[in-house]
Amino acid sequence: MIIQRVVLNSRPGKNGVPVAENFRLEQSTIADTIQVGQVRVRTLYLSVDPYMRCRMNEDTGSDYLLPWQLSEVADGGGIGVVEESKHDNLAKGDFVTSFNWPWQTVAILDGSLLQKLVPQLVSGHLSYFLGAAGITGLTALLGVKEKGHVAVGANQTMVVSGAAGACGSLAGQIGRLEGCSRVVGIAGTDEKCSILVQEMGFDAAINYKKGNVGEQLRELCPGGVDVYFDNVGGDISDTVISQMNQNSHIILCGQISQYNKDVPYPPPLPPDIEKIQKERNITRERFLVLNYMDKQEASVLQLCQWIQEGKLKVRETVVEGLANIGAAFQSMMNGGNIGKQIVSVSK
């Protein structure tokens, strides 16, 4: 069977900026028949995420991420529909997902590595299982619960950097739902800031490209910062940390400002900021959602309930066509999208 797939065409280099041309669309073939335990699936949606920048390097800098290989098919979160099955628990027409879905139109996969989806949980919005009701939502929810130490009635202020992104836009809302009394986002355009406040219920949002971030933070968080959901690292995070309270907490989710730099993960703090962290007993521990998969089922159900009740607003940026996945990746890394970046492969 002839299919289309996207392979890694070139590496941007440790300190390089990724571009669409780092990926290549090509024709390939898969077997016409499947073996016992396998399923043939047609790809519907693929997820494009910031962490994938690390996979473009020969050394990902992480002990849980494998590098993509040159001229080999890329992979990540994906959703598809079963077209043929020789696996006992999966049937034709079932919707399934995997963290390691190949970027191709049709694939033959091991059925035991796929998770069956229930579309009714997200009112038929299947792509939500790659975002708000998937690993992105789990990262936001479990990050807040496990590392944020949010308590109802504690009058806590949360700040979220990268707040208009897939994870940040959910984290701020979840912080509120879990008990934070004030939530402030940091994003890169006036449009994003407006959406955070008017659509997603943030109390305020700062455009870090306009004015002095530190001064705006002091004005918007007069009682200091108790919980910081950190998606970006770098100068913005240093500014937030300098205004954090005694015994406060950093949820170390991502460091997108550092992904194009040859630095360890998590990147070390500058000496003056590290001194503040230690003196104020601010927790800053690496957070990896895969360490909390025992809580996955209950957490996904909670996320789906909030979505159905309208308590969790979901934003997606959907790009049509497998051929455009490289451009979608480049746009995401440049901060050009709002919410989750999804590529729709076929209907």
One-letter-per-residue 3-state SS of 265-315: CCCCCCHHHHHHHHHCCCEEEECCHHHHHHHHHHHHHHHHHHHHCCCCCCC
Cβ count near 26 (within 10 Å): 13
Model pLDDT, residue 39: 98
**In Å, how far are 143, 274, 340 from 228, measured between CA atoms?**
11, 15, 21
Q: What is the pLDDT of residue 279?
A: 97
- Residue extents of the structural domains in the chain: 2-131+315-344, 135-290
Residue 251, C-beta contacts closer than 8 angstroms, at least 6 positions apart? 143, 144, 147, 148, 171, 227, 228, 229, 230, 287
Pairing verdict, β 225-230 and 316-320: unpaired
Point out which residues pair with 316 in neighbouring strands: 340
Q: Which two tokens stand for residue 299?
A: 């957490």
In the chain the first and final C-alpha atoms are separated, in Å, by 19
State the pLDDT at residue 265: 60
Q: What Cα–Cα distance (Å) separates residue 9 from each residue in 22, 61, 70, 72, 301?
A: 5, 20, 6, 8, 39
pLDDT at res. 313: 95
Rounded Cα distance, 284 and 131, in Å: 25
Give the model's pLDDT for residue 61: 74
Same fold, 2-131+315-344 and 135-290: no
CA distances from 55 to 14, 119, 170 (A): 11, 30, 24
- Per-residue pLDDT in tens (0 to 9) along the chain, 347 residues: 999 999 999 999 877 889 999 999 999 999 999 999 999 999 999 999 888 988 998 887 777 789 999 999 999 999 999 999 999 999 999 999 999 999 999 999 999 999 999 999 999 999 999 999 999 999 999 999 999 999 999 999 999 999 998 899 999 999 999 999 999 999 999 999 999 999 999 999 999 999 899 999 999 999 999 999 999 888 999 999 999 999 999 999 876 544 444 445 677 899 999 999 999 999 998 788 888 889 999 999 999 999 999 999 999 989 999 999 999 999 888 877 788 999 999 75
What pLDDT score does 322 carry?
97
Phi and psi angles of residue 245, each rounded to the nearest 5 degrees, phi first? -85, 170
Report the C-alpha gap between 247 and 292 in whole angstroms.
24
> DSSP assignment of 33-65, as one string?
S--TTEEEEEEEEEEE-TTHHHHTSSS-SSSS-
Provide the pLDDT for residue 215.
Answer: 97
Contact indicator for 212, 192 with CB cutoff of 8 Å: no
Q: What is the pLDDT of residue 174?
A: 97
pLDDT of residue 256: 58
Top-level CATH class of 2-131+315-344?
alpha beta
User: What pLDDT is recorded for position 347?
Assistant: 56
Q: What is the pLDDT of residue 288?
A: 83
pTM score, whole prediction: 0.89
Contact criterion met (CB below 8 Å) for 56 and 18: yes
Superfamily of the domain at 135-290:
NAD(P)-binding Rossmann-like Domain (3.40.50.720)
